[in-house]
């Protein structure tokens, strides 16, 4: 099952949680995103998959779920999450590639992908993998960087940028950093049997002048009101989408009790936990398990 994959954005060794969120004047964005998540998340569930979990910034917001799987490509990000959240039955830490998810089919009853899709050179391929991991009826919450935002439209009309925000092709504004058009996102979700239920627009006031001169409480309250326009138009820099995994004959296979991981070499679903690794009983391949982190990279 190993195959050539698109390039992966790796935050290994990064202090992103500290430098960007805790010391980077991002309180407004964080609180606005928390409101969006609260509005879109189901009240609870059995098993949540957090794709691009990083250092676990959003993980405490999923307390209604019995277990949460934090997936990230970077081991150091997962180590930071583990140190903040602890180990035990509640959290499972998985280092893996979104393009090759190591899970039994239709395992999860919910998943989130927040501030992660914008690093995907092949977003439709990533969404296909997510859908395979979801049960029919599962909730998927996707956040994406919106190419069709008001600032980009104004800059384009004033000829201060070359690329068109009306073009549905992604724009790579920095290496492995993409903005996406809402129409493209909606099409990719539909192609992968993910039906959009609700959209919220977020971070409307992500403007340096406003963040410097207006109290953060005001910005958050205004954003909370503006988020409700998301079903009508998507003009904010960030868009949250709540989608439901539609039952499909092509995706009828479901995991059986006791199945969790799937071998990325042969597809085997029987993996035996040994000290320091998982062993696939079908092909004998070993997958490391060190410092509380399953490593499928």
pTM of the predicted structure, to 2 decimals: 0.96
- In the prediction, which pLDDT does 118 show? 98
**DSSP E strand boundaries for the chain:** 45-51, 65-72, 91-95, 108-113, 134-145, 171-174, 177-179, 194-202, 238-245, 271-274, 277-280, 286-290, 293-295
Question: Looking at the predicted structure, is the pLDDT value of residue 131 above 50?
Answer: yes
Q: Which helix (H) or strand (E) holds 87?
A: none
Question: Looking at the predicted structure, is the pLDDT value of residue 229 above 70?
Answer: yes
Q: What mean pLDDT is predicted for residues 77-88?
A: 95
Question: Looking at the predicted structure, is the pLDDT value of residue 137 above 60?
Answer: yes
The pLDDT-based confidence of 2 (bands split at 50, 70, 90) is: very low
- In the prediction, which pLDDT does 1 show? 47
DSSP β-ladder status, 293-295 and 238-245: unpaired
- In the prediction, which pLDDT does 3 show? 54
| pLDDT tens digits for range 271-296 | 999 999 999 999 999 999 999 999 99
- In the prediction, which pLDDT does 250 show? 81
- In the prediction, which pLDDT does 4 show? 75
Could you tell me what percent of the chain has a pLDDT over 70?
Answer: 99
Q: What mean pLDDT is predicted for residues 121-140?
A: 97
Question: In this structure, how many other beta carbons lie within 10 angstroms of the beta carbon of residue 174?
Answer: 6
Domains of the chain: 16-256 (3.40.50.150)
The pLDDT-based confidence of 248 (bands split at 50, 70, 90) is: confident
Distance CA 72, CA 232 (A): 33
| pLDDT tens digits for range 149-178 | 999 999 999 999 999 999 999 999 999 999
């Amino acid at each position: 099952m190993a195959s050539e994959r698109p390039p992966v954005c790796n935050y290994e060794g990064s202090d992103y949680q500290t430098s960007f969120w805790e010391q980077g004047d991002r309180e407004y964005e964080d609180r606005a995103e928390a409101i969006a998540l609260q509005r879109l998340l189901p009240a609870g569930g059995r098993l949540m998959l957090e794709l691009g979990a990083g250092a676990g910034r959003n993980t405490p917001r999923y307390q209604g779920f019995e277990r949460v799987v934090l997936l990230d490509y970077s081991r150091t990000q997962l180590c930071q999450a583990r140190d903040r959240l602890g180990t035990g039955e509640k959290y499972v830490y998985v280092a893996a590639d979104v393009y090759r998810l190591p899970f039994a089919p239709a395992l999860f009853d919910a998943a989130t992908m927040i501030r992660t899709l914008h690093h995907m050179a092949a977003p439709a391929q990533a969404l296909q993998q997510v859908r395979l991991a979801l049960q029919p009826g599962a909730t998927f919450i996707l956040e994406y960087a919106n190419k069709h935002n008001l600032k980009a439209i104004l800059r384009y009309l004033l000829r201060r940028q070359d690329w068109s925000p009306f073009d549905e092709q992604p724009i790579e504004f920095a290496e492995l950093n993409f903005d996406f058009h809402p129409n493209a996102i909606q099409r990719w979700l539909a192609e992968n049997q993910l039906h959009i239920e609700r959209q919220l627009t977020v971070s409307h006031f992500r403007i340096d002048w406003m963040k410097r001169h207006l109290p953060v409480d005001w910005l958050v309250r205004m954003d909370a009101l503006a988020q409700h326009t998301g079903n009508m138009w998507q003009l904010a820099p960030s868009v949250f989408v709540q989608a439901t995994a539609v039952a499909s004959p092509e995706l009828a296979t479901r995991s059986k009790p006791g199945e969790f991981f799937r071998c990325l070499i042969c597809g085997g679903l029987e993996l035996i936990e040994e000290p320091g690794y998982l062993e696939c009983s079908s092909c004998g391949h070993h997958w490391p398990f060190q410092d509380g982190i399953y490593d499928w990279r």
